[in-house]
Structure 1
Amino acid sequence: MSTPQQASNPERRVDLDWVRILAFGLLIFYHVGMLYVSWGFHIKSEHRLTWLEPVMLVLNPWRLSLLFLVSGVASRFMLRKVRLAAFVRARSMRLLIPLIFGMLVIVPPQSYLQIVESLGYPAGFADYYLHHYLAFSAQFCPNPCIVQPTWNHLWFVVYLWVYTMALAGVLSLWPTAADRIGDKLAAALTGPWLLLPCLLFAAWRLFLSPIFPSTHALFGDWYNHADYATAFLIGFLLARQDRVWHDIERQRWVALALGAACFTAFILIYAGWFPRSLMLRWFAGSVYGCYQWIAMVAVLGFARRHLTADGPVRRYLTDAIFPYYIVHQTAIIVIAHALRDSGLSAGSEAAIVIAGTALTCLVSYEVARRIGWLRPLFGLRMEPRSTAGVARQQPA
């Protein structure tokens, strides 16, 4: 049985809008958490919260893959309305303009403050920007070296554009590929075979991750490419396969239980509860990869069943979330640096960083959406928003 949202408006996947909104929203909290865990980040708080790592690991394996999957679905719906050439132009404008703007304006404070805190850079931001940031070299090496200019958190935009262009290239040579391959994939994922993509994600984790650690540098980042491109393609190919989406909704509780089991097994190994061995590493990689796909199935299934409410909040956030994403990490790093040596507790510091970041995102979006020439710089359509425009909008 289809939900009211799918039945009344098959051209609009409100549930996936909400998934995208919530996933990007969680990204703000996740990146605030990166200030306090042992994993590498651009700057670090003086506080360490070891209990936070297992909590963040609940999200870490699948949060970005899910965004690529949703982007694949959105791309398929867009191609139903425009020709391939228009699709390529629209996606390039929507992604490359904010990428270039972000690299030139939004990201530089992140690199500057990282160098200040890691290497004690003595000069001001203007000196750094004019003499170093635009030098197209790796002049600072806080481990790893910072190649400048950089895209930092905007790597997602780069990867999404590359996958989109590669897909467009295939479709230009084989226009019926999406329908033909999508039909075969949907038939292969019938019933319990819905979990079959686990094998792909587990294979990438086992065979590519040890050789190609995550860099987000585009070239040589083959594990991440295999992971994210797979999710993007699955979303694109299955976007119009209603039977598969029905199965995803129907098996949401099974996916939740299996995902919990996989995550429990992985976290016990991660925490060192068992002696290290080659077989154990293989098992850990397998359950990690399976957890990636199963968690996405669970999220998508529960979203399709429950996140069907539409209204002004959904429309506002669907438009706002990409500008929020562009701004959020710079806000986190600037605010966290300003609070350094403040003597605040971890809880107070984190609360200020979260609140300040949310306010910065809100103000940035409200300003950008009201000024015509700023809109494309923040990933918004050139024309002012209208009711019709909102209705036609698809997720980035």
Structure 2
Amino acid sequence: MTSAVSSERRPDLDWIRVGAFFLLILYHVGMFYVPWDFHVKSPHPVAWLEPVMMLTNPWRLTLLFLVSGAATRFMADKASAGGLAKARVARLFPPLVLAVFVIVPPQSYYEIVEKLGYSGSFLDFYGKYVTASGHWRPNGQPLITPTYNHMWFVVYLLAYSLILAGLLRLARPTLASLQAGLERGLGGWGLLVWPALFLVALRVTLFPVFGITHALVDDWYNHALSFSVFLFGFLTAKSVVVKAAFIRARWPAIAMAVVGYGVYAFVRWTYRADDAAPSLAVQALAQVAYGLNQWGAIAAILGFGAKHLTRGGPLLTYLTLGVFPFYIIHQTFIVVAGHHLAQLGLPQGLEALILVAGTFACCFATYEIVRRVAVLRPLFGLKAAPASSGTSGLGIRPEIAPGPAPGQ
């Protein structure tokens, strides 16, 4: 797998990943206020947030899977297939266990407190949570426990990494041929055309049938999308041809993203009421626009990143190490703090400011504590070695460490 590749570092991908995580925190704060379902909700939903939230909906998680695949390439080129699999399990499985049994339970607890009026203590709830004996049905659907909630991304990333390790063991020449084919097909306008058509096809055909469940075993649209871009990132991470194509296509990509967003957001806003049902033709138009916005935004971000985000440094290293702990803790803080803040009767703008600032403060505080306590480091996705060792918290050199992102 060496055709048209470069071993140069990719600080642009790390900056993009860090930026996407910061957007994620703001997005999940927005989920507390937007009139969409979430674990807990503000008693005063803000309708105008819907088109704002839709600015990142189509591409945020897809971009993170792509960047994670690229980061895995840099790791895989230094390890055997078996070594890659062992490293991914060692880095991702302990945080999953911590999240399922420690981090996530407060989210489920406050969800049933708000939606079902549950009056039991957290300890009473926790006993039922870990034994799957609660039988709660918020929104009319059973609340499955124990659960991973926002850590679904880590579950999928671990699964995809293990599948990739198997492919590297059994079909490395096929992957090399696929990489060469991508470079031939994506060197010019194909970079905008072919991936966009692929994403549109998935959205038009699989999404209406399967939707998005985050349940791993039945999430076929999400798997077709996320594993494809994960593999795309892996195969193109070191390609100088594809990197140059992203740079050339950055401005047309913005135009495609803007047009796609405009159409998709207009349809979603127009038919946002429960009793408003668009025709099949309008639904298809919205899905096409979604796919165009999805790839246009990703291509633009990667193009501008490759052009301008060319330097690393101590700040990037610090933030790259920190985003996994940020990801693990942020949503639980939002749920717990949002629930209690809503009861204080503060002006909504002040309340939102406190929630945003408090979430970031909690993330940084958690990271600062975790990285200093040896026993906590692997539980939050950090290597057991000191932070000054020059490796990232996910076992990849800091300029391109893959990491998780939360759910929509």
Tell me: CA distance 1:96–1:275, structure 2 relative to 1, closer, same or farther (3 Å): closer
Aligned counterparts of 1:326 and 1:294: Cα–Cα separation in 2: 29
**Which of 111, 124, 129 is equivalent to 1:133?**
129
Give the gaps of 5 or more residues in structure 2.
Answer: 403-408
Q: Structure 1, residues 203-251: CA drift from partner, whole Å, max 9, x if none?
A: 1111111111211111111111111111111111111211111110111
Q: Does 1:308 align with 2:276?
A: no
Match of 2:150 in 1: 153
Q: Structure 1, residues 331-364: CA drift from partner, whole Å, max 9, x if none?
A: 1011111112211122111111111111111111
Amino acid at match of 1:224: N
5 Å-filtered alignment, 1:39-54, equals 39-54=36-51
**Which of 314, 339, 354 is equivalent to 1:337?**
339
Match of 1:224 in 2: 222
Aligned counterparts of 2:144 and 2:364: Cα–Cα separation in 1: 30
Alignment coverage as a number of residue pairs: 388
Aligned counterparts of 2:351 and 2:390: Cα–Cα separation in 1: 42
Match of 1:383 in 2: 385
**Which of 291, 294, 297 is equivalent to 2:293?**
291
TM-score (norm 2): 0.92
Aligned counterparts of 2:289 and 2:70: Cα–Cα separation in 1: 26
Alpha-carbon shift at residue 175 of structure 1 (Å) = 2.1
Amino acid at match of 2:363: C
Aligned counterparts of 2:56 and 2:397: Cα–Cα separation in 1: 31
Q: Is the 1:11–1:77 Cα contact (8 Å) retained in structure 2?
A: no
TM-score (norm 1): 0.94
Amino acid at match of 1:328: H
Q: Is the 1:183–1:241 Cα contact (8 Å) retained in structure 2?
A: no
5 Å-filtered alignment, 1:1-396, equals 10-130=7-127, 132-136=128-132, 139-143=135-139, 144-195=141-192, 196-272=194-270, 276-389=278-391, 392-393=397-398, 394-396=400-402
Helix, strand or coil: the match of 1:48?
A: coil
Give the gaps of 5 or more residues in structure 1.
Answer: 1-6
Helix, strand or coil: the match of 1:197?
A: helix
Q: Is the 2:260–2:291 Cα contact (8 Å) retained in structure 1?
A: no
Q: Structure 1, residues 294-318: CA drift from partner, whole Å, max 9, x if none?
A: 1100011111112223211101000
Match of 1:4 in 2: none
Helix, strand or coil: the match of 1:331?
A: helix
Aligned counterparts of 1:297 and 1:392: Cα–Cα separation in 2: 24
Helix, strand or coil: the match of 2:9?
A: coil
Aligned counterparts of 1:228 and 1:31: Cα–Cα separation in 2: 20
Tell me: CA distance 1:54–1:181, structure 2 relative to 1, closer, same or farther (3 Å): same
Seq. identity, %: 47
> What is the root-mean-square deviation in Å for CA atoms of aligned residues?
1.8
Aligned counterparts of 1:307 and 1:271: Cα–Cα separation in 2: 35
